[in-house]
């Protein structure tokens, strides 16, 4: 198992000059460096968006895709701005609202980690701010995926709109869909 941290995620440093294409290119470069044969590529949320972009760039290196609530569904400019605003945490209370959406309910742990979540999201905010509708995936993009795809979407997922699940369900050519609790 190889786990690639996106810039600003995990222990990876956040670049000074955010550029979405450079981030996607860095993902391809990192996976090119470590994959010596076709692999199952997994991505969750923004990582799912990156996994799809890698599969489009290097289809010969992807034996299959496993996506859990992937990001990257098409949105117009206002929908995208409303979506990005969900990740703005001016106060710790905003992080609690985010965690309630993430877990589908208020959990005791939420109050303990809200400050850390706020800090971490502050690190990736420039990525979200750099997103434009033209960066997002299209039906034509997904139609190019010839490898098998496992699409998982939690039944209680409240972070991504239902329209995003429907887009991936409808647009992925050959896939299996699971809706775990």
Rounded to an integer, what distance in angstroms lies between the CA atom of residue 73 and that of residue 96? 25
Asked whether the predicted pLDDT for residue 173 surpasses 70, the reply is yes
- Kindly state the average pLDDT of the residues 74-88: 93
What is the reported pLDDT for 62? 95
pTM of the prediction? 0.88
DSSP label of 10 = T
Rounded to an integer, what distance in angstroms lies between the CA atom of residue 92 and that of residue 167? 32
pLDDT in tens, 35-46: 889 999 999 988
Buried b (16+ CB within 10 A) or exposed e, 16-33: eebebeebbebbbebbee
């Amino acid at each position: 198992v190889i786990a690639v941290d996106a810039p600003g995620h995990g222990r990876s440093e956040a670049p000074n000059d955010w550029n979405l294409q450079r981030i996607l290119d860095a993902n391809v470069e990192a996976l090119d460096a470590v994959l010596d044969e076709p692999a199952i590529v997994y991505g969750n949320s923004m990582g799912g968006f990156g996994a799809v972009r890698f599969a489009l760039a290097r289809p010969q290196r992807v034996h299959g895709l496993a996506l859990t609530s992937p990001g990257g569904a098409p949105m117009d400019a206002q929908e995208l701005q409303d979506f990005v605003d969900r990740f703005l945490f001016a106060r710790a209370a905003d992080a609690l609202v985010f965690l309630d959406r993430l877990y589908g309910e208020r959990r005791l742990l939420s109050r303990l980690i809200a400050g850390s979540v706020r800090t971490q999201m502050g690190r990736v905010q420039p990525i979200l701010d750099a997103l434009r509708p033209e960066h997002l995936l299209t039906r034509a993009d997904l139609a190019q995926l010839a490898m098998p795809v496992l699409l998982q979407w939690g039944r209680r997922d409240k972070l991504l709109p239902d329209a995003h699940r429907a887009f991936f369900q409808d647009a992925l050519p050959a896939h299996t869909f699971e809706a775990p609790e």
